[in-house]
Amino acid sequence: MIWNETVECMSREEMRKLQSLRLKRVIERVYHNCEPYRKRMQAAGVTPEDIKDIKDIVKLPFSSKKDLRDYYPFGLLSAPMSEIVRVHASSGTTGKPIVVGLTNNDLAVWKEVGARCLTAYGLGQNDIVQVSYGYGLFTGGLGAHSAVENIGATVIPMSSGNTQKQIMMMHDLGVKALAATPSYAMYLAEAMESSPYKREEFNLRVGVFGAEPWTEAMRREIEAKMGIKAYDIYGLTEIMGPGVGYECECQCGTHLNEDHFYPEIIDPETGEPLPEGVEGELVFTTLTKEGMPLIRFRTRDLTALHYERCSCGRTLVRMDKIMGRCDDMLIIRGVNVFPSQVESVICELEEFEPFFFITVDRVNNTDTFEIMVEVKQEYYTDDMRSMMELKKKIAHKIQSVVGIQPDIRLVEPRTIERSEGKVKRVLDKRVFKN
Ligand code: DLL
């Protein structure tokens, strides 16, 4: 089912026209209402008159998370504070969070794009959706919440945490869809298995998972454990929480709501635009935002875009599943390693639980690379030889995928701390030594 066929199935030409019109408007808005943007455009020698078509976007300077920090908290608003009705924030790794302000119209757009997502997952007004993303400054909870209300389904505003109660509510209330981070979903799946309820007693069919990278292997693992179909939902605080992108029933990429959020792919090193299908850094321009529009915002997320019509009928551009951010990439002994590569290997191997933790360090001027991973109960034994065999097997497999050999530390099931929100899977001790 399609929520807004007019837009979701619009011809490329019509979409270009709509995007061009909206780009002109948003550029006028920021130029006249937001000094940092005006100054930056002036420095680049661009005026709103130079922006006539969506293709002209390349003339505009980029923005980044650093700008949100530099103009913290409200320096990048393009609407008067009297029109800001909500604030969200995302915590960075250091110091102050970044803060965004939304107008009533921004909230309406958010609800609209959220409804497109849920409808694509096959959800409608007779369904019950449990929102287990955190509520609060994080956009996950409230963002998913209003999307559920907008399609007329029933929302259970659980927020994250209290895992036993989550299971009980899902069971007792006949919840059809669970909205959570994939890592929390994995934890809930595990808790469901050891709960007093049988899997057939749940009405759970759909997963609405996002807010962190997750592999196809992890998707299969959660789907099998929960007996559901798991869909991707993408978003980021700066642009618009969950609902910037979503998977349809074909699951061949994440459709981006490009009538509101215009995507580009650039080379993260040079900033040069990259052609369709080539992986690079995703950049967004918000075409309709009023509160805090962002122009050519560098997300640090790595993906590629595809423009051919999808077999679901939607014409909205699709991006490949995001397997990592420029910032996630570890360089270990000169080799680029993404935690998602490790995840896919671990999920493929029968003997291991999909929980792991990577520690990187520098000892005697050499990088160390250790992966702690849980062995499934039925494979966990005191027999040294069998455990050594398991270690060898996984180390070899990881080496063949990432290019370097890790030290493996095998642990019992449930040793590694479970995540209720975004999972943290890496400790890079080298950063403390520089
Ligand atoms: O995570 C918004 C969100 C909430 C999306 C709930 C989906 C569901 P932030 O906390 O600002 O916002 O983090 C944004 O998370 O730049 C990506 O690196 C990552 N991310 C979000 N969704 C996905 C996804 C929310 N589906 C950052 N796949 C983004 C991979 C994702 N990474």
| pLDDT value at residue 175 | 98
Question: pLDDT tens-digit profile of 266-303?
Answer: 999 999 999 999 999 999 999 999 999 999 999 999 99
| Phi-psi sector, 111: left (phi>0), alpha (psi -120 to 50), beta | alpha
Contact predicate 204/175, CB 8 Å: yes
pTM of the model: 0.95
pLDDT of residue 387: 96
345 close to 281: Cβ distance less than 8 angstroms: no
Query: What per-residue confidence (pLDDT) applies to 94?
Result: 63
pLDDT computed for residue 92 by the predictor: 64
In this prediction, residue 432 carries a pLDDT of: 81
Residues of the chain under the 50 pLDDT cut? none
Q: Which atom of ligand 1 is nearest to the CA of 138?
A: 10
Question: Could you give all domains of the chain from N- to C-terminal order, each with its CATH number?
Answer: 1-325 (3.40.50.12780), 330-432 (3.30.300.30)
Q: Characterize the bridge pairing of strands 330-332 and 318-319.
A: unpaired
Per-residue pLDDT, 434: 66
Distances (CA, A) of 101 to 68, 77, 105, 190, 396: 11, 7, 12, 37, 49
**Mean pLDDT, rounded, of the chain:** 96
DSSP string over 94-147: SSSPEEEEEEHHHHHHHHHHHHHHHHHTT--TT-EEEE-SPPSSSHHHHHHHHH
- pLDDT tens figures, 367-378: 999 999 999 999
The predicted structure's pLDDT at residue 419: 94
Residue among 191, 236, 184, 190 nearest 207 (CA): 184
Q: Is the CB of 302 under 6 A from ligand 1?
A: no
For residue 263 and ligand 1, the question of a CB distance below 6 A is answered with no
241 lines ligand 1 (CB under 6 A): yes
| Index of the ligand 1 atom closest to the CA of residue 325 | 18
Of ligand 1's atoms, which has the minimum distance to the CA of residue 422?
A: 1
Distance (angstroms) between ligand 1 centre and the Cα of 320 equals: 14
